[in-house]
Structure formats: C-alpha cells, structure tokens
Amino acid sequence: MTSIWLQPQGRQEQALQSLIDRMADEHGTVSFRPHLTVCNLPADLAVLDAAAAYVKDCGLLPLTVTKAAVTGAVITPFRAVFIEVDDSPDLHEFRDRLRDIVGAPALIPPHISLLYTLDRVSLAHRTDLSGEILAAIAARCAEAIEDNELTLGRPVVNSAGAQTDIRTWKVIRSL
C-alpha cells in the first residue's frame, strides 16, 4: 500500500511525535510518524508526476486544519486513537482532487492518528485495547494537545510495504 501524506510542521510535528512515542511506549504498541493521509494510491505510481504538478500549482499548502475532537474507538488498528479533523473546503478540495488524479479509492474522514493498536513485537492487533481503554487514552491525548488548529504541509508519498509492519514504512518521494 502506498499513500500520500500531509505532515504537521515545526513545533506541532515535534509535539505530536512525542505524544505518539509516549503512548506507544506506555501501551507496548508501534510508533509512527504523525500524518494526515490524503489518499491511498493504486499500484501504478506513474500518476505521481501529475500529483506533484497539482501540489505545486494548487496554492493550498500549507493547510491549517481544525481539531474537531480526539477520539478513541475500536475502528481499525490504524484508527484507534486519533484527532478528528474538520473537513474544511480547502482540505476537502485538496484531498478530493488528488484522489481523482491518482485514481484512489473513496476517502475516509480526515484524521491524524495518535495510537495504532498493533503490538510492538508481534505486530498483531491488540484486542485487549478495548473501546473503553482507547477512549481513556484519547482523553489523555486531548489534554496533551495544546493547539486547536494544526498546520499541515510537506506532502510525501509513503510506501507502507507490508501494511502492518510499520517498521518498513518509508517516504519514497516528496511532492
């Protein structure tokens, strides 16, 4: 799986990375880079030149997004504790246009994950992290996040390799 990400900038990136690392350490899960997934990509990466041209010319970046809530729920291992982001007109346009350009599947609501429920050693989904536990973690995360608005930019293409092996994820191209 390959995805286009927008990344938080400056102090916000550092603060979110620190929070993600701390939650992963406390709960024995994997750490990852903070990001908002714009869209997933089909197997054909030839569309990336068109995506890069759009990013260069659209004039929408960096985007300021508003934190709607911090949620903890058993949705998927990759959406367990996350910042719900308001789908502003600019964010919606940016995501929808890139989705069209690259031929990506339907978009899920915009969010920035803070905790994946993947065990640090086995990478198996941690079923012991119930909805109640995730909601409590989300409440702690909400208290730790000072900003109601986040600035996102630096679009990159991330190659997730084997989807659940976070350790193999790497940036393969900047847009």
Q: What is the pTM of this model?
A: 0.93
Tokens of 96: 């929808």
pLDDT tens, residue by residue, 24-66: 999 999 999 999 999 988 777 789 999 999 999 999 999 999 9
Q: What per-residue confidence (pLDDT) applies to 44? A: 76
Find the largest Cα–Cα distance for the chain.
46
Residue 174 pLDDT > 70: yes
Q: Are the C-beta atoms of residues 41 and 101 closer than 8 Å to each other? A: no
Q: How many domains does the chain have?
A: 1
How large is the average pLDDT for residues 8-15?
96
Contact 113, 140 (CB under 8 A): no
Confidence grade of residue 159 (pLDDT, cut at 50, 70, 90): confident
On the question of pLDDT at 164 being above 70, the answer is no
Domain containing residue 121: CATH number: 3.90.1140.10
- Tell me the pLDDT tens digit for each residue of 100-140: 999 999 999 999 999 999 999 999 999 999 999 999 999 99
Which range of residues forms the domain containing residue 158? 2-174
Find the helix or strand (DSSP H, E) in which 91 lies: helix 89-102
Q: Are 89 and 81 in contact (CB under 8 A)?
A: no
Q: 3-class DSSP state for residue 67?
A: strand
Residue 88 confidence (pLDDT) above 60 = yes
Compute the distance between CA of residue 6 and CA of residue 112 in angstroms, rounded to an integer: 10
The rounded mean pLDDT for the chain is 93
- pLDDT at residue 161 in the model: 54
